[in-house]
Amino acid sequence: MNTTALSTTWAPRLLSVLRIMAGLLFLAHGTQKLLGFPPRMGGGGAPELISLIGLAGVLELVGGALIVLGLFTRPVAFLLSGQMAVAYFMAHAPKSPFPALNGGDAAILFCFVFLYLAAAGAGPWSLDAQRRGRF
pLDDT, one tens digit per residue, over 98-112 is: 999 999 999 999 999
**Torsion angles phi and psi, residue 57, rounded to 5:** -60, -40
DSSP 8-state secondary structure symbol assigned to residue 71: S
Provide the 8-state DSSP code for 126: S
pTM of full prediction above 0.95: no
Q: Could you tell me which of 75, 74, 76 has the C-alpha nearest to residue 63?
A: 76
Query: pLDDT tens across 30-49, in order?
Result: 999 999 998 887 777 778 88
Asked if residues 117 and 74 have their Cβ atoms less than 8 Å apart, the reply is yes
Q: Could you tell me which residue, 43 or 60, shows the higher pLDDT?
A: 60
CA distance 32 to 8: 37
DSSP string, 22-33: HHHHHHHHHHHH
With a cut of 70, say whether residue 92 has pLDDT above it.
yes
Task: State the Rg of the chain over Cα.
Answer: 16
